[in-house]
Structure 1
Amino acid sequence: MGDFVKGKDFENYPDRIKTGILLHREIDRYTDSHDVVKQSKDRLREKYRHYSGVIIDVFYDHFLANSFQAYTKEPLHEFVMRHYQNLETNSHTLPARAQNMLEYMVRGNWLENYKELRGIQKTLTGMSRRTKFNSLMDQAIIELTTYHQQFADEFAAFFPDIQAHATQYRKDLVNSH
């Protein structure tokens, strides 16, 4: 939802949703400024330019899906189904573009399909079709397979940092209200 609510429009939502939108924005900001993520993006920058960050987000989703059990006891499938159900139950609160995307997300089971390279390829191809310019994102699977271990190591170094940062930021947000 954070990607679909622009500017100060988040103020039109209940406090819990506001907190989620602000947390989403902070996670994006922190991720974009993290040295390890910059290292991952630099590997792609020459070919993909400003799309390198979007591609790394998708690659990191792949590594999170594959290492999910290292971060929680809840199986990925149960986590995904619970969140799809929550989104569908509360879809009336989503902006129209997010509501439209939700149908495709659930039907295509995007979150679980990030585990597989073919799921990543499908995601990158779909994103490439929706860009204004020739992003070449549909070709990025080549770099994922070529530098798989380097990206995996970078994700493993980054993810504990983002977890700690997000936890602290959420506490600070809740305590400030």
Structure 2
Amino acid sequence: MNYLAHIYLSGDSDEILLGNFIADYVKGNKYLEYPEQVSYGIRLHRSIDLFTDQHPLVKECMNMLKPGYGRYAGIVTDVFFDHFLAANWNQYSECTLRQFSKHAHAVFLSNFLLLPFRVKQFLPFLIQHKRLESYAHRDSMFQVLEIMSRRTSLPANSEWAMQVLHQEYDQFDALFRSFFAEMIDYVETDFGIIILRPEIKRPIIELRRT
């Protein structure tokens, strides 16, 4: 899972959202140095990654990308999954992607002092370029992969990756939908996270008059 999916899977807790966002930059037991709910978000993130890495539907996606990315195929799969989440956002969230992104940005900025150094470095870029919203556009995936290939060890095969995405778009989409339904169930069941999707309504509480 990439940034957007991790944030989405945090439910309505800002502290868990923050921990889920920064988790890749908090190593070992350093999560114990954070507030309790932020720490919970970090541990949630790690469990989400483990669930994802072991899932057969994810491995099927990775197999389509391995010819061009080898052991890095999982990273590209994560990016593609964020695209399918963003592209179908109204099926997964009660608010718009822009509203969701702005709220996430506000959480990050209001907790800036808690952010690991590397997160502080890239956060202005993420906000300025509306990275979370950009995932909704298929062509934006090329730019995301290009930036990652320049700044990390990800192979520079962005054009090939986009060709595979275009050719197998419906297959990726179907695999994502099936996998993500299981992921949501896992997070809600095992971690007590409540994710309010369009078909999930808040309970109506009747107030008794005294």
TM-score (norm 1): 0.92
Unmatched 5+ residue regions in structure 1?
Answer: 173-177
| Equivalent of residue 89 in structure 1, options 104, 110, 120 | 110
- Structure 1 residue 83, shift from structure 2 partner: 0.6
How do 1:1-177 and structure 2 match up within 5 A?
1-132=22-153, 135-139=155-159, 140-171=161-192
Paired residue type of 2:181: P
- Structure 1 residue 88, shift from structure 2 partner: 1.0
- Structure 1 residue 131, shift from structure 2 partner: 2.3
- Structure 1 residue 143, shift from structure 2 partner: 1.2
What is the root-mean-square deviation of aligned Cα atoms in Å?
A: 1.3
Distance in 2 (CA, whole Å) between partners of 1:102 and 1:168 is 31
Distance in 2 (CA, whole Å) between partners of 1:131 and 1:106 is 20
Other structure's SS at 2:192 match:
helix
1:127/1:137 contact within 8 Å kept:
no
Higher helix share: 1
Other structure's SS at 1:3 match:
helix
2:68/2:157 contact within 8 Å kept:
no
How many residues are matched?
171
Distance in 2 (CA, whole Å) between partners of 1:96 and 1:38 is 32
Paired residue type of 1:18: S
Distance in 2 (CA, whole Å) between partners of 1:168 and 1:18 is 19
1:23/1:169 contact within 8 Å kept:
no
Paired residue type of 1:112: E
2:134/2:140 contact within 8 Å kept:
yes
- Structure 1 residue 48, shift from structure 2 partner: 0.6
Paired residue type of 1:105: L
- Structure 1 residue 138, shift from structure 2 partner: 2.2
The change in CA–CA distance for 1:137 and 1:95 in structure 2 (over 3 A counts) is farther
Distance in 2 (CA, whole Å) between partners of 1:107 and 1:52 is 28
Paired residue type of 1:7: G
TM-score (norm 2): 0.78
- Percent of aligned positions that are identical: 32
- Structure 1 residue 137, shift from structure 2 partner: 4.2
